[in-house]
Structures are given as structure tokens and as C-alpha cells.
């Protein structure tokens, strides 16, 4: 593992935080409901026919500082959104950042070769004005930059308060997720470094943390990962790729195959109390990856000689299948859901940090083995010996 020093501060412009994550899905209303009932979000804001939006319906849901927006086409012939769903399935289209001095950030990115998907526009309503622009990043994913310092409204112009009934959600146990910790992008093999350089050149992000397949591997699969972040280190974007030369389909390659290229693999949501959160999420019916008991036997032995003490009840962590990673300064607790749609693509991570800014490298072997068990159940773990047109096919025939 490698950690990096912060680079030179940009002359102007600032990335403040993750603003929201926008999904393109087949049915936005149903997706929003699923995240409310399963993850503890509440209906927040809505844009659709009733608010004057004639092309798309968007349902925003919120939990503390986390906002997810689910968007679907309203009319036939929306080829951009429709083809995105045909290719990728339900997935993340837009990782939006709140920024200050959007003009500087967009101008800098343009001068260094970034593709500007949407130029700076300003929208207003009775609550003020918001400036936005969008940049193309990896695959079909974009970053919308949002400058909202002159806006006092609920979410964004064009949205109204959501009218979805909440009585049922209020009967479910409170979850307590607080903010987006990081957002992970998967790349095809050997494409991680060009994406990392894009964030360096276009957004003036710097390398925060990295790990390679010498650390993150099992008998069958491995990955390389570099975490990119802004100068203030408030936005963290890990970039992953599968390692070369393994004999099975890694979880990264499986994602790339089923998503149809690069995209957001998972979103990590930070909580102050992971035991409470996971207890509530399991009660709501959410499914998580299973971790074998021998992981906790080994963990207890390693913690017995470490400088740090985990204050949470280890028996509860084991019962809930929560992973622990630590160093001499602190520790983190994390757990991963099963995929949130039929394709084995997007999933969510729940994380709690105790003076530890890593990404769970010490847990990757256990996590990979758990994912490989799931892959094996799907018939997607091993390559076959079938050859077609000079290319080796994997078990899902591609």
C-alpha cells in the first residue's frame, strides 16, 4: 500500500463535497421506493410532468447528507437514456460535485482537454439560482459540477417537495447513514492509469492511496486500485482495474463485462454507528455478503497484539458479518451489500471510521473470497477453454 502527499493547491476553484449521485433506471419511482424501504432513505424532491418536466421524471431521496436521484425517460425516443439502460442496466450516470468558482474549474478542464458534456448554465426559481456544467469522465459516466451558494431552495430549480407517502417508511427501523465516503469506478484491464491521469490533469486531483495485486489477491483473482481526491480531500474517487494474469474472472472484470465497460461499481456510505445501521438494514430485508467465521478467529488473534482496541462488541460484528481493518493509529468497520439490481454490477458499502483513512486493504482477501463464492453461484468465476475466433471465452460466453 502507498499513501501520497497532497499536491500544490489549485490557483482557484474548489471541490466542496459530493453533491448527489444520479442514476439512470428503467422505473425511477420504483427504484426510489426500493432505496427508501431497504436503505432508510426518505422521499425528498421530485421533477416530472406535474412540475413541468416533459422529458424525464426524477425522484430524489435523502438520508442526512446523502442524496440519490433516480431518473427515467417520460417519452418514447429518448435514445440517450434508453441506450444507456440497454447497455449498462440500471446504474450511475452522474457523480455530481458541489463546487465553488465553477467558471475556473470548467475553463481549466477545457484547456487541458476535457470533454464538456454540458456548458455552464444558470437556472433560477423563487429560491435563487444554481450554476451547473457537466464533464465526461470514464465510460459513459459524467461529473456535474454544481455551484449552489446563491440558492436556498430544497434541492435544485425544477424540483418540488416529494409527495410520496412516508407513513410506511416511518414504521421501519432507523438506519443512520450520514454522508458519501467514497465512490468507486471500475475500469477494464490496463485502463486505470489513464483514468487516474484524467483526474490529475482535468480536475487537479491528487493520488491519495494505492494498492496493487501483491496485496489484493486470492488464488483466483486480484485488483489494482488508486484513490483520487481533491486538494481538500473531501471527495474520494477510487479507480480499480483487474490485475493481469489471473486464472479466473475477478469481480472487477465481471463488473466490466456485465456493465458493458467502465462505470461506478460501488458507493460507500459513512455512518457513526455501523452496528445500529446494519442491524436496521438487515431488519429491512437488505442482503449482504457473508464472511466466514475463521476470518474473525484470525482477526481476534491479530488484534490481541495490536496497538489499537476495537470498542465495538466483536461478537456483534461477527454476527452481522462486519469486517475490521486497522493499523497503529486506528481502524475502520465495513460491510458490502449484494448487487442492488439483477446484473452483478452496482452495490453499496457501509463504513465507519475510527481515525483510519484507508479503504480496507486488510479485508480484501476475505471480501474477494466472499464475492468469488457469489460469482461461482452465478456461474461467472472461471474461464472456460472454449475458443472462438481466436479469443478465449469465459463462462458467460463473451
Task: Report the distance separating Cα 386 and Cα 378, nearest Å.
Answer: 19
Share of the chain above pLDDT 70, in %: 88
Q: Where are the domains of the chain?
A: 2-170, 177-378
Per-residue pLDDT tens digits for 206-223 = 999 898 866 555 666 678
CATH superfamily of 177-378: 2,3-Dihydroxybiphenyl 1,2-Dioxygenase, domain 1 (3.10.180.10)
CA–CA–CA angle 158, 160, 165 (5° rounding): 145
CA dihedral sign, ordered 305, 309, 310, 315: positive
In the chain, DSSP assigns E strands to 2-3, 14-24, 42-47, 56-63, 66-73, 91-100, 116-125, 128-136, 142-147, 160-161, 177-186, 206-211, 223-229, 236-242, 263-271, 323-326, 331-336, 347-354, 383-388, 391-394
The answer to whether residue 272 scores a pLDDT higher than 60 is yes
Average pLDDT over residues 21-45: 98
What residues are paired with 224 via a beta bridge? 241
The pLDDT mean for the chain works out to 91
C-beta pairs of 167-172 under 8 Å, 24+ apart in sequence: 168/37, 169/36, 169/37, 169/40, 169/42, 172/37, 172/40, 172/280, 172/283, 172/284
The reported pTM is: 0.92
60 within 8 A of 46, measured Cβ to Cβ: yes
Least confident of 47-51, 199-203, 258-262, 374-378: 374-378
Task: Report the distance separating Cα 367 and Cα 184, nearest Å.
Answer: 15
Residue 238: its pLDDT value, please?
A: 97
For residue 47, count CB atoms less than 10 angstroms from its CB and return exposed for 0-12, middle for 13-18, buried for 19 or more.
buried
Average pLDDT over residues 13-21: 98
Place of cell 490481541: 304
Residue 148: its pLDDT value, please?
A: 98
State the DSSP code for 10: P
381 within 8 A of 368, measured Cβ to Cβ: no
Q: Detail the residues annotated as belonging to a binding site for Fe cation.
A: 182, 266, 349
Q: Residue 193: in which H helix or E strand, if any? A: helix 192-203
The CATH architecture one would assign to domain 2-170 is Roll (3.10)
Question: Hey, do 2-170 and 177-378 end up sharing a CATH topology, with the first three levels equal?
Answer: yes
Q: Detail the residues annotated as belonging to a binding site.
A: 182, 266, 349
CA dihedral sign, ordered 83, 269, 15, 57: positive
Amino acid at each position: 500500500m502507498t499513501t501520497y502527499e497532497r499536491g500544490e493547491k489549485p490557483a482557484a476553484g474548489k471541490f466542496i463535497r459530493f453533491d448527489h449521485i444520479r442514476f439512470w433506471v428503467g422505473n425511477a419511482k420504483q427504484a426510489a421506493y426500493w432505496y427508501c424501504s431497504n436503505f432508510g432513505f426518505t422521499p425528498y424532491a421530485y421533477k416530472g410532468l406535474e412540475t413541468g418536466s416533459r422529458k424525464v421524471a426524477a425522484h430524489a431521496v435523502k438520508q442526512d447528507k446523502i442524496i440519490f436521484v433516480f431518473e427515467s425517460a417520460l417519452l418514447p425516443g429518448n435514445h440517450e437514456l434508453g441506450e444507456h439502460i440497454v447497455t449498462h442496466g440500471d446504474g450511475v450516470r452522474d457523480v455530481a460535485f458541489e463546487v465553488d468558482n465553477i467558471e475556473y474549474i470548467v475553463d481549466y478542464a477545457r484547456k487541458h482537454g476535457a470533454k464538456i458534456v454540458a456548458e455552464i448554465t444558470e437556472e433560477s426559481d423563487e429560491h435563487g439560482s444554481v450554476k451547473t456544467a457537466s464533464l465526461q469522465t470514464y465510460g459513459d459516466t459524467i461529473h456535474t459540477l454544481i455551484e449552489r451558494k446563491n440558492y436556498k431552495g430544497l434541492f435544485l430549480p425544477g424540483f418540488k417537495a416529494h409527495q410520496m407517502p412516508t407513513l410506511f417508511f416511518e414504521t421501519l427501523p432507523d438506519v443512520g447513514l450520514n454522508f458519501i465516503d467514497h465512490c468507486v469506478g471500475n475500469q477494464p484491464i490496463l485502463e486505470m492509469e489513464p483514468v487516474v491521469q484524467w483526474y490529475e490533469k482535468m480536475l487537479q486531483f491528487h493520488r491519495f492511496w494505492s494498492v496493487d495485486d501483491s496485496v489484493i489477491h486470492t488464488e483466483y483473482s486480484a485488483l489494482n486500485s488508486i484513490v483520487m481526491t481533491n486538494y481538500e480531500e473531501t471527495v474520494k474517487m477510487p479507480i480499480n482495474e483487474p490485475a493481469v494474469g489471473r486464472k479466473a474472472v475477478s469481480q472487477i472484470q465481471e463488473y466490466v463485462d456485465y456493465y458493458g465497460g467502465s462505470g461506478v461499481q460501488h458507493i460507500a456510505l459513512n455512518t457513526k454507528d455501523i452496528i445500529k445501521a446494519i442491524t436496521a438494514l438487515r431488519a429491512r430485508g437488505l442482503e449482504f455478503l457473508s464472511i466466514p467465521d475463521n476470518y474473525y478467529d484470525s482477526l481476534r488473534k491479530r488484534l490481541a497484539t495490536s496497538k489499537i482496541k476495537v470498542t465495538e462488541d466483536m461478537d456483534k460484528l461477527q454476527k452481522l458479518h462486519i469486517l475490521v481493518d486497522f493499523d497503529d493509529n486506528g481502524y475502520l468497520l465495513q460491510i458490502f451489500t449484494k448487487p442492488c439490481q439483477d446484473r452483478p454490477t452496482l452495490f453499496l458499502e457501509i463504513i465507519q471510521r475510527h481515525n483510519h483513512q484507508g479503504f480496507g486493504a486488510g479485508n480484501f482477501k476475505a471480501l474477494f473470497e466472499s464475492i468469488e463464492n457469489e460469482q461461482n453461484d452465478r456461474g461467472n468465476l472461471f474461464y472456460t477453454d472454449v475458443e472462438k475466433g481466436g479469443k478465449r471465452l469465459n463462462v458467460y460466453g463473451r
